[in-house]
Homo-oligomer: A and B are copies of this chain.
Amino acid sequence: MTKAPTASDVARRAEVSRSAVSLVLGGNAKKARLSDETQERIRKAAKELNYRPNAAGRSLVRGRTETIGLVIRDLDLIGVDPFLLPLLKGILEATRDQGYRVLVESIREGSGDPFGDLMDSGRIDGMIVENPNYGDKSLRRLIKSGRPVVVMGSQGLKEEVSVRIDDFKIGFVATEHLISLGRRRIAHIAYAESGIYAVDLRFRGYVEAMRKAGLPIEPALVTHANFSMESGYAAMLDLLGATPLPDAIFATSDAVAMGAMAAVQDAGYLIPRDIAVASVDDISAARFFRPALTTVTSEPYASGKLAAEMLIELMSGQKPGNTSALVDTRLIVRGSSVEDYSDDLLQTAREIRATK
């Protein structure tokens, strides 16, 4: 393992100047019109030496790193948040053809100015922030500074650029669906404590749907879990203690709903006959639970893709057309709310087999 070859090495071998090498290999070959013959010689030399431009040197002089950060608030969520993987996929897909890399960072809470530190570390040109605490000081300051930041969800700042889903509508639609099935005692399990913007909006959607139907909100039927399926199970145990029982559950994440459904079934009740369940996300397992899970999509993949595209716009200096993109969601009705549900799994399976 000798030292990596530098542009000078290439230049020497090709018998040209360093600048020529830089022009040709930096993609500006057209701008500075070098003779084809020279260009060829340079490329050949580079290949022979196995030369790769050094990112640090380049970033130093260009003032850009071609890297974006994906910031995750809490490392503990990473193990359980099913949103994250498709989000990451969307981001990677949208960035990789633009030549950007993705740095994944978790932020420690309350330690100085973590968002500013990362932003100005010279490692990234911009960042996407997933699932931030509402009102985080460090993040607010960063957003107000006008740096390239895209927030998933909203921090309620006029300067922010955000990708959101309509969490109010999600809560409303899911609850309304349950009401339309004749359910009256509809319980609510949030996927986290109040304080996260999306959590509260979904709750308000739930409240509004209930209000519109003239149904009361019973405090004993409103509770929250903690991201995990386990905590959904635990929350459901609480609800199963209510008298009379709820006849439906609106859980704000599939994970929580799955935990809750297990608790319902373990207690000997039938879904959806005794208790109907609707939730949010449409993770891949939702379709394979039995009964399959009625859910409102949360579109993490589309959100990630969109966020990355907006960030790239932002980093190129343009103000993006809209500073707040709203990703559309939709209700998918399955067996956890409707008895006689059947989907096209067989059809899907046939297609899969056909392509095997």
Interface positions of A (Cβ within 8 A of B): 1, 4, 50, 52-57, 59-60, 65, 67, 75, 78-81, 84-86, 88-89, 92-93, 96, 101-106, 116-117, 120-123, 145-147, 226, 228-231, 233-234, 237-238, 255, 258-259, 261-263, 265-266, 284-285, 287-290, 292, 301, 345-346, 348-350, 352-353, 356
The distance from the CB of A83 to the nearest CB of chain B, in whole angstroms, is: 10
Q: Are B79 and A89 in contact (CB under 8 A)?
A: yes
Contact call B78/A88, Cβ cutoff below 8 A: yes
Contacts A/B (CB < 8 Å), 27 sampled: A1-B146, A4-B120, A50-B116, A52-B116, A52-B121, A53-B122, A56-B56, A56-B59, A57-B122, A67-B103, A75-B93, A79-B89, A84-B85, A92-B104, A92-B106, A96-B106, A103-B103, A103-B104, A229-B288, A230-B349, A231-B352, A233-B348, A234-B353, A237-B353, A265-B290, A266-B346, A285-B285
Smallest CB–CB gap between A269 and chain B, Å?
12
A237 cross-chain contacts in B, Cβ below 8 A? 346, 349-350, 353
Check B88 against A120 for contact (C-beta < 8 Å).
no
In the assembled complex, the Cα of A4 lies from the Cα of B103 at a distance in Å of 21
Q: Which 3 interchain pairs have the tightest Cβ spacing?
A: A54-B122, A234-B349, A234-B352
Contact B146–A226 (Cβ < 8 Å): no
Q: Measured between C-beta atoms, what is the minimum distance from A243 to chain B in Å?
A: 18
Cβ of A121 and Cβ of B262 under 8 Å apart? no
Chain B residue contacts of A60, Cβ below 8 A: 54, 56-57, 60
Grouping DSSP codes into helix (H, G, I), strand (E, B) and loop, the A interface class, with mixed when no group exceeds half, is helix
Given contacts A80-B284, A229-B285, A233-B349, 6 further A-B contacts (CB under 8 A): A52-B122, A56-B56, A78-B92, A228-B284, A230-B345, A230-B348
> Which B residues touch A226, using CB under 8 A?
352, 356
With contacts A52-B121, A89-B75, A258-B288 taken as known, whether A103 is within 8 angstroms of B102 at the C-beta atoms is: yes
A356 to B233, CA, bound (A): 13
Residues of B within 8 A of A52 (CB): 116-117, 120-122
